[in-house]
Structure 1
Amino acid sequence: MVSKTVLKQILASNQKDIERYNIVSRELPSDDFPRRVFIGVRRAGKSFMLYQKMQQMLSCGHGWDEMLYLNFEDDRLTGFTNDDFEQILECHAEMYGRRPMLFLDEVQNVEGWEKFARRMADAKYDIWITGSNAKMLSSEIMSTLGGRYLSTEVYPYSFLEFLGVKGIVADENSLLGTEPRAQMLRAYSEYLQWGGLPESVGLSVKRDYLTSTFQKIYLGDIVSRNKISNPNILRLLLKKLAESVKQPVSYNRLSSILSSVSGKISMPTVSKYIEYCESAWLLLRLRNVSAPFADKEMSCKYYFVDNGVLNLFLINGETSLLENLVALSLFRKYGHDHDNERVFFYNDNVEVDFYVPEDGLAIQASYSISHSDVTYGREVEALKKLPKVLTCRRRIILTYDESDIVTDEFGTIEVKPLWKWLLE
């Protein structure tokens, strides 16, 4: 139980902190639906989106008597339980005498939070919630919330947001100039290598920050939360998945590889560890659109939620980083729920890196196709064959900096730099 005196002190100090934050504006939900759950990996900027909303309300003439904000990773809230939720409403009522809009940050740290969230929805409160655990949206919890909330996935900065934070204008006219174009390309190289976690953008040396962030996700959100007794096996699994980012990998193969270096590791253990990483939003799964059901679940491709985190595991990993960035951009656009039935890869005699059925979009990711006839043939021929089995309205090969147009009986295949596609 946290005392009312402490809760009131926390509420008051949070208000001053939020007013002082220099927020980089991101796209908030455009509709007026009053109850939201923002989910995503740690430090992707979920809290900043709550701050942005509160600052917008303040700038429009609303006051703190209309808003209540708590961060449940605040060490002053140690010991906060589901029973204390009612106390925060009582504290706000005693301080202001008004009904507030609720902003609850990292609420998954409180066991049973979803019961309070449902009760507040039934009472017609406006409420925005953030959480880093994908299990917040498990079928059981969403059943408890009963359709009362909409979920919004929050990813690290897109390339356009990344450029905006750096003050780089990347419209068509600006990029005609030599220096603006060079500035944009330097930012592109940085973004490809080190990703877009918001707090890392302004750092000249990013590796220490990214290592710290990974350790917090790895040790806090995965090892500690799931009581993993041998974290070294999990680290080896993540290293192998990072090295395998470009190709499908099965539970059976992972189990065999890990068993060869760490003693017997069962397939169920591998499956469970990957699920833990997905729940923490560290890994994002991609399924084969052409595979039967069992293979869809057992042999998938896995991507990391940020290029900077992936880069911690790689040496000379430019091709893996490029493909990982394409995956993140597609997930950001089309969404990535637990089943992810919107973005796939295709692997049946030929392999296509990404396929989006609703748009008939097929994408190959290759750092370069101009320096190898083998690479050129592999990437182009797969896209030439795919329209014979799946609807393809647009086919693209994304490279680091190459452009071309390939024509065939089904139309054109665009070869273009990744940065151009990211700015579309």
Structure 2
Amino acid sequence: MKELLKSILFDQQKLGWNTRNVRRDFSPAYLYNQEIVVITGIRRCGKSTLLQQIRSEQSEKDYFINFDDERLIQFRVEDFQILYETFIELFGVQKTFYFDEIQNIAGWERFVRRLHDYGNKVFITGSNANMLSRELGTHLTGRYVSHELYPFSFREFLEYKGKVPLPSEIYSTEGKSEIKALFSQYFSVGGFPVFLENQNDNYIKSLYENILYRDVMVRNNLTNEKEIMELVYYLASNVSRLSSFNSLAKTIGVKNASTVSNYLQFIQNTYLIFQINKFDFSLKKQIQNTKKTYFIDQALITRLGFLFSEEKGRLLENIVFVELKRRGHEVYYFSAKNECDFLIRRGNQITTAIQVCFSFDTQETKTREINGIREAMKTYSLSEGLILTNDTEEEITSDSQTIRVVPVWKWALQNNEK
């Protein structure tokens, strides 16, 4: 095993940071605190690249290994000690470790805990939310911080395209036109880094199949591929729409709604989809109410499901939702006499109401969107609300309530403004 590890480690030393890569947002505080840093997210969103970015900024870089390597198929938890000894033999004593896709090795958390307890700094990546949280919660409680990574934001997409807009460009005619054209591209192709390079639909198909078979079916010992594929197809074709476990069970021909509930949890653990609840101060009612489903990236929606061209508003809503998650928000939806797409909760308070619509041109649309957000604002005593559109910008003031109407592309570039 040691000779094999030496070969792998030397080979993988070549997997360094490329200065042409887009730098991802990452808190500098994570680099210097004592906690284990856990980078999680969907497959192929750039976790390994972020790990290389972190390595490039550290004085100690050598203790790196990517466990998603077929030569490590026989690696077991008892081999971690051999790996540790090999690191020291090849590179001398260092105190910083980088483990990519460590979840592939059962029992990894015990070794990482030992490293941490002896004063080492450890960075790890993984693609399964439930597996990581279960293992971290069991053995590493209080010893780690988590950083969720998503496909490129619109700001990162612009950087990838070589366009880093100055504040003045957001308002100039020429700058605004260029940014809007790039947002139209982003709206279609999303933010998976490798897909942006080739825009080959087979890449998205392969990514989805890897998630479906490796992260959902194999990991959870499932056999009914058809049911899960039909479920994902239906959700992608109905993104942002309400559904219940019972309605989904009928749609895919499953007798028991709890089976669908389990499927959804397994899929959510891969970061492929997210489900949000209707806000209620009663947790029991939150769980019982119908849910809205969103996908990690719009490229997956358009290539896994079927949407009519006039349903662009639901894709725009998905982009907004993912950006809210990227910013670390706790997100719900509002439904009473009228509906409002998103409520943001901080602690025990609803602090923001957001409505999303592609076009804000017709009186019917304006009435529907304004009535929905006003009811949400009144319910939670909010003086300001936000309607995000594809292109419209204005301000609506009435009855001590102010509603800002802002294009999504501009809102997405306004740092963490709500």
- Superposition TM-score, scaled by structure 1 size: 0.90
Contact 1:357 1:391 (C-alpha < 8 Å) held by counterparts: no
- In the alignment, the residues of structure 1 paired with residue 176 and residue 371 of structure 2 have an alpha-carbon distance, to the nearest angstrom, of 32
Contact 1:40 1:155 (C-alpha < 8 Å) held by counterparts: yes
Which residue of structure 1 aligns with residue 323 of structure 2? 329
Question: Which digits, 9 at most, give the CA deviation of each residue in 1:114-161, with x for residues without a partner?
Answer: 111211111111000000000134356313102101011111111111
Instruction: Go from structure 1 to structure 2 and tell me whether the alpha carbon gap of 1:294 and 1:251 turns closer, same or farther (over 3 Å shift).
Output: farther
Which residue of structure 2 aligns with residue 70 of structure 1? 65
Contact 1:355 1:362 (C-alpha < 8 Å) held by counterparts: yes
Q: Is 2:332 the counterpart of 1:344? A: yes
Say which of 378, 396, 399 aligns to 2:386. 396
Question: Which digits, 9 at most, give the CA deviation of each residue in 1:181-236, with x for residues without a partner?
Answer: 33322210111122111222233x34222222112112221122222211111111
Q: Is 2:343 the counterpart of 1:355? A: yes
- In the alignment, the residues of structure 2 paired with residue 408 and residue 100 of structure 1 have an alpha-carbon distance, to the nearest angstrom, of 60
Instruction: Go from structure 1 to structure 2 and tell me whether the alpha carbon gap of 1:294 and 1:281 turns closer, same or farther (over 3 Å shift).
Output: same
The offset of 1:53, in angstroms, is 1.2
Which residue of structure 2 aligns with residue 230 of structure 1? 224
Say which of 187, 192, 197 aligns to 1:202. 197
- In the alignment, the residues of structure 2 paired with residue 321 and residue 165 of structure 1 have an alpha-carbon distance, to the nearest angstrom, of 22
- In the alignment, the residues of structure 1 paired with residue 209 and residue 407 of structure 2 have an alpha-carbon distance, to the nearest angstrom, of 33
1:107-118 alignment to 2 at 5 Å?
A: 107-118=102-113
Contact 2:39 2:125 (C-alpha < 8 Å) held by counterparts: yes
Question: Gapped runs of 5+ residues in structure 2?
Answer: none
Q: Is 2:411 the counterpart of 1:416? A: no
What letter matches 1:254 in structure 2? L
Query: What's the secondary structure of 1:192's corresponding residue?
Result: helix
Which residue of structure 2 aligns with residue 10 of structure 1? 8
Which residue of structure 1 aligns with residue 44 of structure 2? 43
Query: What's the secondary structure of 1:151's corresponding residue?
Result: strand
- In the alignment, the residues of structure 2 paired with residue 188 and residue 142 of structure 1 have an alpha-carbon distance, to the nearest angstrom, of 39
Instruction: Go from structure 1 to structure 2 and tell me whether the alpha carbon gap of 1:304 and 1:140 turns closer, same or farther (over 3 Å shift).
Output: same
The offset of 1:96, in angstroms, is 2.6
- In the alignment, the residues of structure 2 paired with residue 423 and residue 69 of structure 1 have an alpha-carbon distance, to the nearest angstrom, of 34
Which residue of structure 1 aligns with residue 300 of structure 2? 309
Instruction: Go from structure 1 to structure 2 and tell me whether the alpha carbon gap of 1:176 and 1:397 turns closer, same or farther (over 3 Å shift).
Output: closer
What letter matches 2:406 in structure 1? K
Which residue of structure 2 aligns with residue 33 of structure 1? 33
- In the alignment, the residues of structure 2 paired with residue 352 and residue 122 of structure 1 have an alpha-carbon distance, to the nearest angstrom, of 47
- In the alignment, the residues of structure 1 paired with residue 245 and residue 201 of structure 2 have an alpha-carbon distance, to the nearest angstrom, of 30
What letter matches 1:314 in structure 2? F
The offset of 1:16, in angstroms, is 2.1
Q: Is 2:140 the counterpart of 1:149? A: no
- In the alignment, the residues of structure 2 paired with residue 394 and residue 136 of structure 1 have an alpha-carbon distance, to the nearest angstrom, of 40
- In the alignment, the residues of structure 1 paired with residue 176 and residue 241 of structure 2 have an alpha-carbon distance, to the nearest angstrom, of 33
Contact 1:387 1:410 (C-alpha < 8 Å) held by counterparts: no
User: Identity of aligned pairs, percent?
Assistant: 32
What letter matches 1:52 in structure 2? Q
Question: Which digits, 9 at most, give the CA deviation of each residue in 1:232-270, with x for residues without a partner?
Answer: 1111111221223222211111112222xxxx4310110
Contact 1:369 1:376 (C-alpha < 8 Å) held by counterparts: yes
- In the alignment, the residues of structure 1 paired with residue 336 and residue 286 of structure 2 have an alpha-carbon distance, to the nearest angstrom, of 12
Q: Is 2:267 the counterpart of 1:266? A: no
Q: Is 2:365 the counterpart of 1:370? A: no
Query: What's the secondary structure of 1:360's corresponding residue?
Result: strand
Contact 2:17 2:49 (C-alpha < 8 Å) held by counterparts: no
Which residue of structure 1 aligns with residue 276 of structure 2? 286
Contact 2:377 2:385 (C-alpha < 8 Å) held by counterparts: no
Question: Gapped runs of 5+ residues in structure 1?
Answer: 336-341
Which residue of structure 2 aligns with residue 186 of structure 1? 181
- In the alignment, the residues of structure 2 paired with residue 147 and residue 291 of structure 1 have an alpha-carbon distance, to the nearest angstrom, of 28
What letter matches 2:231 in structure 1? L
**384-393 vs 108-117, which deviates more?**
384-393
What letter matches 2:411 in structure 1? W
The offset of 1:21, in angstroms, is 7.2
